[in-house]
Amino acid sequence: MEPIDHKKVLAERLSARFGRRTVLKGLGAGLLTAATTGAPSLVRAQQSGHIKIASIKVIDTLDPHFTGFLSSIQIINNIHNGLLKIAYDGKNVTFEPDLAESWDIEDDKVHVFKLRDGVKFHDGTPCDAEAVKFSLLRVKEGEPKSPHAWKLALLENIEIVDPLTIKLTFSQPYAFLPVALNGSTGRAGTIVSPAAVQKYGADYGRNPVGTGPFKFVSWKENDAIELEANPDYFEPGLPKLERATFVLMNEASTALAALFSGQIDGMTDCPMQLVDQVEAFPKATLYGEIEGNYTFVGMNCKRSPFDDINLRRAVAWALDRDTIVKQAYFGRAQKAYTPISPPMTEFFDPDIATSGRGQWFDLEKAKSYRAKAANQGEIEAVYMMAERGPVGTRVAQTVAPMLAEIGIKAKLELVEPATWVKRRNASDFDFYDFEWVADLDPDETLYPEFKSDGAWNFGGWVNTDFDDLCAQAQVELDPAARRALYYKAEDLLMDEAGIAVMAHMPIYKVFSTKVEGFQYIPADLVNLHTVSIG
């Protein structure tokens, strides 16, 4: 038997993931080298301008290792860096070195990171291998436990080779690694100042200290979070702004009015219902594409009536996705056939609509499955909904008549968001709908939500073959083979209709035309590194 060249496999896989330019540069010394060198720039950036951006959603904490919200990451990512970062060229999402200057792979389980030289935290302490080790351990085994700890569960050993070199040993090949070590959505790879963590303890989330382009200044509850430029930032010439204010707001239409009147310069999130107005306004630029998410109608597989596979299949084929997109998502979303979403560059199938995989609207098929269901009478089922997210209760109201077509009477129950979470977590529903926003990798898209004993498997769908496929894919480093495994897993999920997938949603950001240089990344990020204001 021919031995497998793991290093080659991983290199190929990474070259597919990282930009071509980065890989070419990296061929000499390590496997990868960042485009810019680590020496701090002697040319100091001239910062000017003060940007004010409305942040519409909840900010729970500015501690990257503890936040549960992408709205917090939007701000955190301007204060901190990760070992890696997400980049986007308008077509492909790639994972590039950030604080790491190079990433060498000794074998498929041992990864060596060389850090940029001379990088300092905002408190003046050096960002070296010790700090990286500290941050990774804080995520992996810190107390209280980080909700992102599972992302580093396979990390077995951290060795400091020299002050700027760190060697990570994993117990298995780990395909999710580029996402896990990310400073953005992955969160687990964000590097925090050890001195600040020791100083502030549990209050670090209100006193964050990172290496990023902006320093934290203040956070006034329900009012604003203020940042100021970090003049010693390691990327030459950045940041361009002198100050940035995130104005904390509850009411998106007020934020839009403030944008139109020039009181603020942008919004971190522009709900779908307001997009028409933004498009009609000449002095604003809209950014937004389909991001890493999927929306679905969840069914409770643990109890009657949806423990019946044929009834679930009937539901999955009865949903008219075109109508749902038009009525519930303001015509802005994209029909989904399976959970894996477009920005997962290597895993999304661009021909999904014609591939025959997944599910779509076919009333005949739905009715034939309905005819096979055990219960042939009219079925009454509780559809739990909440005023939550941009579409709120619209999905339920659009879906209910479609269910009536196949003899299912959905009883719509509107509950308050906290109750909704509690009931969902206790699997106390027949139907609910949700949008799963995933880290940009199929693993986090599928596995924790649908594995048999998964903490987030609220519908309780169980299939051990699916579990095995996902577990294999986690350690499969060859992208094509990994993709094939995930497709099989998705097909099982769709065939047994564990959920009925509906759409992939766009996430919008809007800036005044005065704002220049914003680089859109389809991971709900608002990176202000390159932004300037006229």
Partner 1 sequence: MLFKALGKIAQTCVVLFVVSVASFGLLKLAPGDPIQIMLGSEYSQESYDSLRSELGLDQPFLVQYADWAIQFVQGNWGTSYVARAEIFTYAFKEALPVTLTLASFSLVFAILVGVPLGVLSAIKKDTIFDAGSAVLALTGTAFPSFLLGILLIWFFAVKLQLFPVMGYVSPWENFWLGIYHMILPGLTLSTYFIAMITRLTRATLIEVLEQPYIAAARARGEPNWRVVWVHGVRNIAMPLVTILGLQLGVLLQGTVLTETVFNLPGVGQMLTSAVLGREYLVVQAGVMMTAVLFIGVNLLVDLSYPFLDPRLRTSK
The residue within the footprint of partner 1, chosen from 69, 330, 361, 520 (CB under 8 A), is: 69
Q: 343: cis peptide before it, omega within 30°?
A: no
Query: Using the 8-state DSSP alphabet, how is residue 387 labeled?
Result: S
Span of 53-61, 162-170, 291-299, 398-406 interacting with partner 1 by CB under 8 A: 53-61
Q: How far is the CB of 420 from partner 1 (least distance, A)?
A: 8
Nearer to partner 1, 260 or 360 (CB): 260
Q: Contact between 58 and partner 1 (CB under 8 A)? A: yes
Task: Answer for the pair 124, 188: CB distance below 8 angstroms, yes or no.
Answer: no
Measured distance CA(17)–CA(74) in Å, rounded: 23
The residue within the footprint of partner 1, chosen from 147, 236, 305, 392 (CB under 8 A), is: 147
Span of 65-73, 168-176, 228-236, 344-352 interacting with partner 1 by CB under 8 A: 65-73
Residues shown for the chain: 534
Spatial CA neighbour of 211 closest among 290, 123, 114: 123
Task: Answer for the pair 85, 93: CB distance below 8 angstroms, yes or no.
Answer: no
Spatial CA neighbour of 342 closest among 527, 526, 174, 90: 90
Q: How many angstroms separate the Cα of 259 from the Cα of each of 36, 196, 398, 411, 513?
A: 36, 35, 32, 40, 11
Question: Using CB atoms within 10 A of its CB, is residue 262 exposed (0-12), middle (13-18) or buried (19+)?
Answer: exposed
Taking the mean position of all CA atoms in its chain, how far away is CA 95? 13
Number of shown-chain residues binding partner 1 (CB under 8 A): 49
Query: Using the 8-state DSSP alphabet, how is residue 308 labeled?
Result: -
Q: Contact between 57 and partner 1 (CB under 8 A)? A: no
Q: Contact between 520 and partner 1 (CB under 8 A)? A: no
Nearer to partner 1, 18 or 458 (CB): 458
> Mask: binding to partner 1, 236-255, rule CB under 8 A, as x and -?
-----------xxxxx-xxx
Q: How far is the CB of 285 from partner 1 (least distance, A)?
A: 18
The residue within the footprint of partner 1, chosen from 411, 456, 465, 481 (CB under 8 A), is: 456
Q: Contact between 354 and partner 1 (CB under 8 A)? A: no
Query: Using the 8-state DSSP alphabet, how is residue 385 labeled?
Result: E
Nearer to partner 1, 142 or 517 (CB): 142
Q: Contact between 455 and partner 1 (CB under 8 A)? A: yes
Nearer to partner 1, 65 or 504 (CB): 65
Q: How many other CB atoms sit within 10 Å of the CB of residue 30?
A: 18
The residue within the footprint of partner 1, chosen from 133, 206, 302, 514 (CB under 8 A), is: 206
Question: Using CB atoms within 10 A of its CB, is residue 318 exposed (0-12), middle (13-18) or buried (19+)?
Answer: buried
Q: Contact between 371 and partner 1 (CB under 8 A)? A: no
Q: How many angstroms separate the Cα of 516 from the Cα of each of 51, 230, 278?
A: 11, 19, 17
> Mask: binding to partner 1, 84-123, rule CB under 8 A, as x and -?
----------------------------------------
Q: Contact between 453 and partner 1 (CB under 8 A)? A: no
Q: Contact between 46 and partner 1 (CB under 8 A)? A: no
The set of residues, in sequence order, having a beta carbon less than 8 Å from that of 339 and lying 6+ positions away, is: 294, 296, 436, 445, 446, 490, 493, 501
Nearer to partner 1, 297 or 325 (CB): 297
Span of 190-198, 258-266, 349-357, 365-373 interacting with partner 1 by CB under 8 A: 258-266
First to last CA, the chain: 64
Task: Answer for the pair 250, 243: CB distance below 8 angstroms, yes or no.
Answer: no
Q: How far is the CB of 477 from partner 1 (least distance, A)?
A: 25
Q: How far is the CB of 262 from partner 1 (least distance, A)?
A: 8
Nearer to partner 1, 27 or 421 (CB): 421
Binding residues vs partner 1 (CB under 8 A): 58-61, 67-69, 143-150, 202-203, 205-206, 219-223, 247-251, 253-255, 257-258, 260-263, 416-419, 421-423, 425, 448, 455-456
